[in-house]
Chains A and B, each alone.
Chain A
Amino acid sequence: MFGVLLKKYFIELFSIFKRDKKKADWLGVATTFVLVAGFIAGLVLMLSAFIKQYTGVRFHNVLDVETRQYELLTLIYSVLLVVGVFSGVKYLNFSIFESSDKNILITLPIKSSVLFLSKLAVVYIRQFAVTAIIILATNLTFGIVNHLGAYYIGMSVVMCFIFPLITISISSVFCLPAYFIKRSIQSRYVAYLILITAIMGVLFWGYSEILSFVQTLVTTGEIKFLFNEKTMLTIMDIVKYSYPCNMIANILLGRNIGESIGIFLAILVGVTAVGLIIVQQFYVKAIHVRSLEKTRFNALNKNFVHKKRTRFHALLEKEFLLVLRTPSYAFQYFSVAITMPLMVFFCMDIGSDLLSGLIMVESNFELALFLVLVFGGLTNTFCATNISREGPAFCALKSTPIPWKEFIGVKVLFCSIVTVLTMAVSVTLVSALGYIAPWEAAVLFFIALILAEAQICFATRKDLDRPNFSEDDDCEVRESNTTVSTIVIATLLVSAVIGGVSLYASIFFSNKGQEVSGTIIGIAFGVALALLAVCVTYLLVGIEKKFKQLTGGN
């Protein structure tokens, strides 16, 4: 039965190549490929610099390269383990509770443990593909910098197969408890949304700390002072108890091989056994809980009859409720919009120091412009599903006397409201903290707003031309599509060109002692207005005909 289920999953996996090729998001695949390649390149460069620094750290004035290698490998694998377990729990829970085959498989005469193991195998293959790339990149960088031999390289390849086993085993222990906790939190929807937003804020803070660390590395070229005696003792304590990662480091470096392999296998078998017991006990129960669950929202307005509103107002509220009450939309839009000002602030703080410290240039306005455009644009990519979000209800809506102007106008206005608020908070924050003057904040706000409006118009029309109406029960748009990828790429390009060129010009001319702020603002305004004109024209030309032709959703 296990083989039958695996075959089913593989048939489904490869059916993507047989499906409508026009619908495949090749642009998204290419973008992901480029981003992953960029990430790996960045990781290798940063890691090689860091490894050189760390292995040269002296503890009590003694240089012990081998011990530093052991500590560093343990820490690297600990990070990989945490990330692997988180993603394992996420994908396992998705394949168990969210996948469309759930309701069919549960009715078939298949043991819950077999069902779970088959899902586990599929997640293992996925994890193997991802971790192999990261493990090979990090291990090879580590090996090359430290001049490690063939044994180390060979064990690194073996680790690509074994490491996902340990992350999946640990994930299987945590996936059901994590699911119950998630359900419990999700039932308190507002608290859940606040929690998710807070977690995003903390993650951004963590990211800024990493950037700050990189900044120190770049500006001083020396991080050994960070690893003082107190820090080193803490690291040693952490490494000592970081099972099984310290055992993996031992195996890779050829230290206490027999004992390390023994402990590693014991942990692997133990964790797998615990995972299977938990699954055996709770798997079917968990699926049933999910299938019987009914989410309820109590309307704030408990009256049977509400006061009459304009059609436009009613549509706007419908849009708000749709986004607010769909967890993934609320997260994608509201949480990201709320945390955007934080991200701008963190990057502004580090970027400003870098510019003044490294190049001795004050280009805060141009830097803020660049950051607000990039983060504002990325937050706003949500508008790439403006039409698709309607799902099958678009069909019903089209049979009502709602003119296309109102339908599209509401979509544009809804995105604009969130954008205005986010941009306003971001520029106010940057200005209040003294990075830019209030008049510069006002100018920045209007340039960013004009570009955001251009983006909303462009994205809405793109989605109207090729909507992706979900066929799932809850009508949520989950898959990325060509429109989303196009908007992300276009946003990054426009932000990089306007913000990046402004920043470069400011630095270039400042070094020559020339003041060009006025010219930069004028050009940025001009380009933004021209783009807005192009995008509004793109949205409106032939829109009535397109709206009339659009029949999807039913």
Chain B
Amino acid sequence: MKNTETNYSAPTLKIEGLSKKYSKNSDFSIKDVAFTIEKGELVGLLGPNGAGKSTTLKCVTGILPITEGTVEICGDNIEKNPVDAKNHFSFVTDNHSVFLKMTGVQYLNFMADVYKVPTKDRKEIFDGLEETFKLGKAVYNLISSYSHGMKQKICMMGSLVHSPDLWILDEPMVGLDPRTQKAVTDAMKTYVASGRTILFSSHNLDVVKRICSRAIVINSGRVVADVPAEAWATTENALEKYYFMEDAGADEE
């Protein structure tokens, strides 16, 4: 189904020395961010508001140009080979950036066209997504008439039409009711269980602790901790310790 061959020997996501400045005279928003994510991991990018989570994800997904460093997705460099790299992942933004003038069905088919999903596979995929996210008949309505949660659901459904190797989500739980949150976390767990990978950002410690196999804590634009789930129960590696850490010094050059 995918348009680019997946290099299974390469890590799903490899970030090295990633730094971002929004303008020449500004300070670094993120500095020397580096981590690797392997197939089958569910990784939470944790940090308080303004820590640099969204900037990191936007650099990873090719929305923001990178100032320094490299990002490789399944072996494809996002800057040098953007179209191939983008075929490996899907990104759900934090403000459900979606085409409001399409109906849900039109949006799903549009995304399927963008990712070149064959017609014969679509029915099964769409039915599976409907089973998970349960939009019901609203899927035939214009997206502009959707509630916050419904927009979040259609964004997620659209992002999964091509079963990407890596699913990236920016603050996916914000503004969702508990029932929709459960649907989203269940979908994420199922996705990882099928052997694929998720990276999502959150400022919510509890969500990360509940579902992730690993947490990368970012604070003041720098990675301050990379902790596997089995380790964060210890006082020494408690996520709170890193999360509430004072300025980690991203502005320094």
Contact = CB atoms under 8 A, between A and B. Distances in A.
Contacts of B233: none
A402 B83 CA distance: 7
Given A321-B102, A396-B93, A295 B113 contact: no
Contacts of B141: 294, 296-297
Interface string B58-95: 10011111000000000000000011101100110111
A255 interface: no
B106 interface: yes
B91 A399 contact: yes
B98 interface: yes
Contacts of B102: 318, 321
A395 interface: yes
Contact of A295 (B114, B117, B142): B142
Interface stretch (A119-127, A306-314, A347-355, A440-448): A306-314
A401 B115 contact: yes
Contacts of B117: 308
Contacts of A392: 93, 95, 97
Given A311-B114, A396-B97, A396-B98, A297 B62 contact: no
Interface in A345-363: none
Contacts of A402: 83, 114
A326 B101 contact: yes
Contacts of A325: 101, 142
Interface string B87-127: 10011011101111111011001111111111100110010
B140 interface: yes
A548 B140 CA distance: 34
Nearest to A395: B97
Q: Which range holds the interface residue count of chain B?
A: 35 or more
A393 B243 CA distance: 31
A422 B93 CA distance: 39
A393 B114 contact: no
A298 B114 CA distance: 23
Contact of A395 (B82, B93, B109, B145): B93
Contacts of A231: none
Interface string B133-166: 0000001111011000000000100000000000
Q: Which range holds the interface residue count of chain A?
A: 35 or more
A398 B83 contact: no
Contacts of B82: 401
Contacts of A303: 105
B49 interface: no
Contacts of A479: none
Interface centre among B87, B97, B140 (most CB of A within 10 A): B97
Nearest to A309: B113
B86 A401 contact: yes
Contacts of B145: 294-296
Contact of A297 (B95, B113, B126, B142): B142
Contacts of A321: 99, 101-102, 106
Nearest to A313: B113
Given A308-B112, A308-B117, A313-B113, A296 B142 contact: yes
Contacts of A326: 101
Interface in A250-295: 294-295
Contacts of A296: 141-142, 145
24 contacts: A294-B145, A299-B105, A304-B105, A304-B139, A305-B119, A305-B123, A306-B119, A308-B113, A308-B116, A313-B113, A314-B113, A317-B110, A318-B99, A318-B110, A321-B106, A325-B142, A391-B97, A395-B97, A398-B63, A399-B63, A399-B93, A402-B83, A551-B65, A554-B58
Shortest beta-carbon contacts, A-B, top 10: A314-B113, A396-B97, A401-B86, A399-B91, A294-B145, A325-B101, A306-B109, A399-B61, A305-B122, A308-B119
Interface of A: 294-299, 302-311, 313-314, 317-318, 321-322, 324-326, 391-403, 474-475, 548-549, 551, 553-554
Interface of B: 3, 58, 61-65, 82-84, 86-87, 90-91, 93-95, 97-103, 105-106, 109-119, 122-123, 126, 139-142, 144-145, 155
